[in-house]
Chains A and B, each alone.
Chain A
């Protein structure tokens, strides 16, 4: 039996195409990019070995540090928002609406499948000012306030970007956490109730600890996704005003393809990759310690 399932030819036929594409289009480029981060220049101008210069440049490059800040801040704030709102929604689905939550689950999830550029343009017009003013400023005016030009300030753009991210993905995190909450056995919750826990206490002492693994997965997934944010910030305000809301991804794209600095661009990409790794490991380790304590 094992000889049949160990047949080399079959393994090669089935696995080789995937492995070849993966190595050629992903592993080799990653290694190449890693190497490029020690060079300066581009294909036309030629490359020059500069050692760790790109890395030292990065930490004295104001725009790079600003984009690093944007990426980290956006990732942390968006993750807090997504996981918190997602969790509240999931609790609402499981414990309040129960079987009746199907429609709400579907409706809140839907924006997730829309193209990010479409969502960004939708939100940009939604908060616009002037002759073609959007509803947000109409409401502000109706309440007696002056119209706010959100896209003219860094904090305004970031606020809209965060609201937009929450709007489009909270339903997704809600479904994710909902599946996790469904896995908690009813008996455990019932016995918690019998012991006198109810409402917030039940959530804090029984439901949250039991759903910790799935909360953790959501946090790691959300951090990884939001650190890679590109489309929405590009489409929303093109990283503006100026370059104040350009995340690392956008800064990398511009450095490599608009200024044709392939080497430095690769360095920025590497910093981004390391950032994802560090965030993931930090969350993972801190949670494991908590579980062990």
Chain B
């Protein structure tokens, strides 16, 4: 990337106290000049990151003729929402959204509530074998999803769950629990034990202190871990592809995949509209929660 040369040039100069008071104006000008390549690199970076998305959002307003006749970087000639109407009515985008939410919200709720309880049992409660139990649960993080597909598919099929959203909710919950339990245990570890001991002295049972003290204390952690899990469930394709066959049950990822088959290279407008809906919705969510999301995803990967 182009940031390499500018980066080394503009690393702050070694402090040389004797020089500082001399020629402050010229020095400032020189420093500003040295910043130019940095700002150039930053601008280039922003273009690289944003342009594909901007291009697609513009494309979602274009008519088929505009796609054929105008160059790819041309702006749409008018702001027409036809593509969005097509995508929403013909492409099941609304149903896909509903399904994704019907799957993601219960899964994340279960993962968080069960994970925080397990984290408390493994970290605050004192019993023999709790470290090994934590390791046993932690081992689940390493296992790729492919390893559990066939047995689960067989069972879901035999008990007739394949045409519901239950296989997804159950599988996502099982897949999200190891990391969540581990993270929750780590968060509980950073809480002073005295808080829970004080509650015991006041006569609270450990279950009561879990609900009255543990849960409120973990509010922040639950939100952070919840966001990690939200995105990993919301963005999954493998599980959804394996366990759902009915298009009525398709999640967003599946819906987009089938849209691309249906429209192929012939009709970019509705496809672009469907993808743009995703980009814009997620952009709005991200704008409000970006600090928590970034912290959560980073914590999830490092500790896992």
Contacts and interface: CB of A to CB of B under 8 A. Distances in A.
B298 A179 contact: yes
A109 interface: yes
A262 B150 contact: yes
B206 A10 contact: yes
Contact of A104 (B42, B242, B271): B42
B3 interface: yes
B103 to A, nearest CB: 13
Given A25-B171, A115-B253, A253-B238, A104 B46 contact: yes
Given A14-B117, A115-B278, A125-B268, A135 B73 contact: yes
B170 A25 contact: yes
B145 A228 contact: yes
B15 A193 contact: yes
Contacts of A202: 11
Interface in B71-124: 71-73, 114-115, 117-118, 120-122, 124
A17 B181 CA distance: 12
A32 interface: yes
Interface residues of B, number: 108
A88 interface: yes
B217 interface: no
Interface string A254-271: 001100001001101110
Interface in A94-120: 95-97, 104-118
Contact of A121 (B121, B256, B302): B256
A111 B282 CA distance: 10
Interface string B232-258: 001111100110000000001100110
B140 interface: yes
Nearest to B64: A132
A40 B50 CA distance: 49
B158 to A, nearest CB: 8
Given A30-B147, A221-B301, A234-B237, A7 B125 contact: yes
B252 A11 contact: no
A172 B297 contact: yes
B49 interface: yes
Contact of A198 (B11, B282, B304): B11
A155 interface: no
Interface stretch (A55-63, A72-80, A272-280, A284-292): A272-280
B275 A121 contact: yes
Interface centre among B144, B241, B278 (most CB of A within 10 A): B144
B13 interface: yes
Given A235-B257, A273-B144, A217 B302 contact: yes
Given A92-B3, A116-B253, A231-B253, A14 B140 contact: no
B148 A11 contact: no
A18 B181 contact: yes
Given A167-B49, A193-B14, A198-B14, A113 B231 contact: yes
A121 B257 CA distance: 8
Nearest to A123: B52
Contacts of A124: 260
A230 B237 contact: yes
A147 B15 CA distance: 52
B140 A96 contact: no
Interface string B133-154: 1000100101111111111111
Interface of A: 1-2, 4-8, 10-11, 13-15, 17-19, 21-22, 24-30, 32-33, 36, 43, 85, 88-89, 91-92, 95-97, 104-118, 121-126, 128, 130-135, 137-138, 167, 171-172, 175-176, 179, 190, 193-194, 196, 198-200, 202-203, 214, 217, 221, 224, 227-228, 230-231, 234-235, 249, 252-253, 256-257, 262, 265-266, 268-270, 272-273, 276-277, 280
Given A14-B210, A126-B55, 4 more contacts: A5-B126, A5-B200, A106-B294, A265-B150
